[in-house]
Structure formats: structure tokens, C-alpha cells
Chain A
Amino acid sequence: MAVPGSCLPGQTPSRDIPAPSGAPRLPPGNYSSTPGGTVFGTTPGGTRIIYDRKFLMECRNSPVAKTPPCDLPDIPGVTSPNVEELKIENNHVHNYEEKVGAGEEAQFDMDI
């Protein structure tokens, strides 16, 4: 079944290179260069885009990752376009979990 945007095995995992627009360009992504970060792994199914948890968590801090999507539906109690409100809530939950998950804190420290 064809999944839109997917890379099928045996095909070059190519994607359209987004054309630079009027927006200021950020430096290119750290493909294959960040320690512990992005890896393009080769598996029996072909080359796949593999990221480990640490790298994904680091991407959370990039400026572009912090603005809410323009089409985010407003579902009360589930989504919120208000960044600050949720940040506070997330921190609260995070702290709570650290207390509960004794001995496991280190793994779940956020990089914020």
C-alpha cells in the first residue's frame, strides 16, 4: 500500500528538496554529523532515515519546532495554541513523574 511521502524499499529515499523561499534560511540540518544524532542507516529494506531519542529531543529546542502549527485544531483540554500555558503544564508533569519514577530520572531529563 502506498503511503504518501513514504520511501519504498529499493527506491532511493529521495524527497523533494524544499526550495528556498523568502524566509530566512537556517543552516542545513546536521545530517549524519551530530554526535549521537542523525544516522542514515541501511537495513534489509533499504536505506532508512533513523534518529535516536537523544537527537530527536535536541530538535525540540530548535526555534522552528516551538511555534504551533497554523492548522492546529483547538480541542479544549487537548491542544492549545498557547505555548506558555502548556510549557508550565508540561514542566509540572515532568517534575511529578520524576518523583514517581524513582531511579529512572536521568533517562528522562529534558534538554530544555
Chain B
Amino acid sequence: MNNKFDALKDDDSGDHDQNEENSTQKDGEKEKNDRDKPQGSTKRKAVVPGPAEHPLQYNYTFWYSRRTPGRPTSSQSYEQNIKQIGTFASVEQFWRFYSHMVRPGDLTGHSDFHLFKEGIKPMWEDDANKNGGKWIIRLRKGLASRCWENLILAMLGEQFMVGEEICGAVVSVRFQEDIISIWNKTASDQATTARIRDTLRRVLNLPPNTIMEYKTHTDSIKAWEEFHGLVNSSGR
């Protein structure tokens, strides 16, 4: 099994928004009922920097997903597996989340953390992602926590200098290796993807021989469909 991000393909395209809201609502129900849930609405309050906090260029949302053991991937929709952890607008708010989350190296099983700009779902089909792609770096075990931290700090601090192009970042904990990736909007924009690659090398302090692979989401979707036998092989 290689880097399929298998769970990222959703079979039921078309009603993401609804599923998303429902599952999010369920997951956060306990807390939200106790707190400031607006009556009769699933919308949350807008997240803003607190007084004297350092605002970020964008708001971001942490997500967590884990493949349920013992069930084939194809029977699990993305929404069943993904949980929103929370959204932040300032550096301080970021640390409040990050400091109370385990580091990726301590996650067990087939798990991912996603950190995406607020409003962009960590899915290939999201409008912001559908023409995009990602840089993928495979890491030997033991490096994921450090590389993930450096990656997301660079993203939050706007170190990539590619305008609005960055969508989010993912760390995927797998059996024998871990994978980090950063997603951007326009896979065909080579100046942007080259700049992201160069920034990655700098901020992750990667050895020169580290292999970095760029994969378009279109290719990821095709690979996923073929892997799950959704495409008639004789037709190709």
C-alpha cells in the first residue's frame, strides 16, 4: 500500500456540505451544546484573533482522520472518518490547539492530521483543490513530528510566498513510513509548484537526496478509482 490517501475520495459527491455539517455536528456535539452554539444553527461563530494576539494571514482548521480498522476502505466515506478539531485565527490560538494535540509520531494506526485554510475541506473535490495537486515527501519513522511542525509553521507564517495558492497540509501516519504533503490550488502553475518545492527544502532542512513527488489531485482520483476497481480496466 503506498501513498493513496485512500480515504480522501468520497463516493457520494454532491452532498458534501450536508454530510460535513452533520458529521461535524455529531462529533462536536458534547462541547458545542455546553457552550456558545447559536440556537437552531450549525454555523459557528466567526473565529477572530483575541486582544493582543498575533493575527494570521488566514484562519485555519485542524482536522483528524483515521481509518477504522477491519473494514475495507471503499466502504468508508471520507466524512465518516474525518473530524474537525477546531479553527484558529491567531498564532496564540494555533498553539492552544497544537499544544493539546498529540504529535503525529505518537498517533497510532492509519491516521492523518490535516491543517487547511478555513473554508477549504481537505478533499480533492473541494473547489479550491479540484485543479490542484500536492507535494509529497515520504519520511522514515521518527521524523514526522518534527517535519510536520516545521511545515505548518512555515505555512502559517506565510513563508511560501505563493499568494493565495496554498490550500493546506497533511501528515499521514502509515505502517512503515510517514508522509507529509502540502496542497496548492493550481497544479499547472509550474512557477508556483517550483517555489513551494524550494521552500519545502529550506524549511524542512531536507537532505539533498530526499525524493519529492508532485501529484495532481486528478491523478490521485484516477489512481484511487483504479485501485478500487471503479473503472472498467478493458476501457483503458
Contact = CB atoms under 8 A, between A and B. Distances in A.
B154 to A, nearest CB: 7
A44 B163 contact: yes
Interface residues of B, number: 66
Interface stretch (B5-13, B112-120, B174-182): B112-120
B171 to A, nearest CB: 13
A4 B92 contact: no
Contacts of A71: 28, 31-32, 35, 86
Given A5-B58, A43-B163, A62-B92, A18 B48 contact: yes
Given A29-B52, A50-B158, A104-B205, A73 B92 contact: no
Contacts, number: 195
A38 to B, nearest CB: 7
Contacts of A77: 102, 107-108
B83 to A, nearest CB: 6
A48 to B, nearest CB: 5
A59 B100 contact: no
A1 B127 contact: yes
Interface of A: 1-9, 13, 15-16, 18, 20-21, 23, 25-29, 31, 38, 41, 43-45, 48-53, 55-57, 59-60, 62, 64-75, 77-81, 83, 86-87, 89-90, 93, 96-97, 100-101, 104, 107-108
